[in-house]
Amino acid sequence: MSDKVPGAAGRGSDAPGPIISGKDSRFVPTLYAQVGKDKSWTLDFYLSHGGYESIKKAIGMGQDAVIDEMKKSGLRGRGGAGFPTGLKWSFMPKNSGKQHYIACNADESEPGSFKDRYLMEDDPHQLIEGMMIAGFAIQATKGYLYIRGEYKRAYDRVMAAIKEAKERGYLGQNLFGTGFEFELYVHRGAGAYICGEETALMNSLEGLRANPRQKPPFPAQAGLWGKPTTINNVESLCSAVHIIQRGADWFASMGTEKSKGHKLFQVSGPFKRPGVYELPLGATFRELLYEYAGGPTEPIQAIIPGGSSCPPLPWTDETLDTPMDYESLVAKGSLLGTGGVIGIPASMSMVDAMWNVTRFYGHESCGKCTPCREGVSGWMVSLFEKMGTGQGKKGDVEVLENMLNQIEGRSFCALADAACWPVRGSLKHFRDQFVAAENGKAVERVGSRWG
């Protein structure tokens, strides 16, 4: 395996084409620009760096113009689904006479994902301003921030930021003398992964059991308390601040033709510098994992590209040179997801890795649907326990594949699918390890995959 990194040719300030490398001199990180700086979470710090100017600009533009600018930017939801943000905002009814809501999904619980945590801890006013812009665009005067319960520091920082903003006139009535009003409320989750599903999140906000709802009706028609609601991810809302301030063309100058802009990528596993890195979409795994994360500390056999629900890809030159964008990863049989790149060392059996993933989804199932409750939490977890402890038997791989066929696409929400996809990907690329496990044999390690 070579250690080559993307070439720098043609990537100077006069380089043609879109920005698809973090090493391009034209690329300037924005979402994480203030993360890690002293007192970056305070209102005074935020104002000194141009804070709350984007919402003023948005109000001057008007609601339709803001939505059009978001559409033009090409921003796609950064929570995993990748749905166009501006289009999502446009689904909200106009002048309905009803209370409209904007909700932020900050229940960041996907294994391998931790980007939103630092946005809330170190730059909470950026998120508040993003929610205000969204609220203005969709005629929502109230916002709800649903934050993961384990994120204590993020919760404290967000609450302090809201208090500051209210006291100094950045939240409340007649903001900036324009007649725009916006109130923001925070709700802490209690550790349930299912609350990352938008309709389960709404049920939780209403004080109900966090079960997914049937769609339609969609949240834009009947969301929180039956009123029109839009739900966006933390990173998506923070991106709106910079799109409105700098313009859609600026955002669209980064990334690929269909995957516009920049994104926060997270690296975990055996790498020298695990962490969060802001890069243009279209940058390669090689650039992220070698140029930024410093390369592996031990042999790697696979990476999960976008959080635990995404199918793994083998550690090969072809994978490393794959652009990190929505279309390229689908073409490779995986997903961009949340951008949480997880390295799986060669010293770990892929059967063990998938056993761990399956246990997570089995534990987090809400239990509403039989395929998920019985299939994932019951059958899949039990089968992996046998295969992972040397009790596998001939035919287990076929049984596992039959389970996947009976579970995927048959439950109310995507949680069961999320449990199936990584297992399918592992069977596709590492079938030999599963066959060895079904024979009750020790899984052969694959140190030769080291690069």
> At 241, phi and psi to the nearest 5?
-60, -45
Q: Which of 14-18, 136-140, 311-315 has the lowest mean pLDDT?
A: 14-18
Residue among 282, 288, 317, 319 at smallest CA distance from 303: 319
Per-residue model confidence (pLDDT) at position 441: 67
Cα gap 130→235, rounded to integer Å? 9
Residue among 269, 259, 267, 317 at smallest CA distance from 292: 267
Cα gap 280→256, rounded to integer Å? 9
Residue among 173, 402, 429, 396 at smallest CA distance from 312: 429
pTM for the whole thing? 0.93
Contacts of 181 (CB under 8 A, 6+ apart): 141, 172, 173, 174, 175
Q: β-strand 340-345 against 180-188: which pairing, if any?
A: unpaired
pLDDT bin (cut points 50, 70, 90) of residue 447 is very low
Give the angle subtended at the CA of 80 by the CAs of 76 and 81, to the nearest 5°: 65
Q: Which of 251-255, 334-338, 340-344, 374-378 has the lowest mean pLDDT?
A: 374-378
pLDDT bin (cut points 50, 70, 90) of residue 443 is low
SS3 label, residue 313: strand
Contacts of 353 (CB under 8 A, 6+ apart): 302, 312, 344, 426
SS3 per-residue string spanning 154-223: HHHHHHHHHHHHHHCCCCEEEECCCCEEEEEEEEECCCCHHHHCHHHHHHHHCCCCCCCCCCCCCCCCCC
| Chain segment 40-94, per-residue pLDDT in tens | 999 999 999 999 999 999 999 999 999 999 999 999 999 888 899 999 999 999 9
**Token pair belonging to 419:** 């449990």
Mean pLDDT of 134-150: 98
Per-residue model confidence (pLDDT) at position 3: 40
Per-residue model confidence (pLDDT) at position 439: 83
Residue % of the chain over a pLDDT of 70:
94
pLDDT bin (cut points 50, 70, 90) of residue 440 is confident
| CB 135 within 8 Å of CB 128 | no
The alpha carbon of 318 is separated from its chain's Cα centroid by a whole number of angstroms, namely 24
Contacts of the segment 208-216: beta carbons below 8 A, 24+ positions apart: 209/366, 210/366, 211/366, 211/368, 211/412, 212/366, 212/368, 212/412, 212/413, 214/412
Bond from prior residue into 371 cis (ω within 30 degrees of 0): no
Mean pLDDT of 127-155: 98
Q: Is the pLDDT of residue 177 over 60?
A: yes
Q: Is the pLDDT of residue 179 over 70?
A: yes
Q: Is the pLDDT of residue 7 over 90?
A: no
Per-residue model confidence (pLDDT) at position 278: 98
pLDDT bin (cut points 50, 70, 90) of residue 17 is confident
**Token pair belonging to 43:** 């209102």
> At 398, phi and psi to the nearest 5?
-65, -40
Q: Which is more confident, 413 or 75?
A: 75
- As a whole number, the mean pLDDT across the chain is 93
CB 57: neighbour CB atoms within 10 A?
13
Cα gap 59→129, rounded to integer Å? 12
| CB 83 within 8 Å of CB 123 | no
Per-residue model confidence (pLDDT) at position 16: 62
Q: Is the pLDDT of residue 37 over 50?
A: yes
pLDDT bin (cut points 50, 70, 90) of residue 380 is very high
Contacts of 118 (CB under 8 A, 6+ apart): 32, 35, 276
- Domains with residue ranges and CATH for the chain: 43-252 (3.40.50.11540), 262-345 (3.10.20.600), 350-449 (1.20.1440.230)
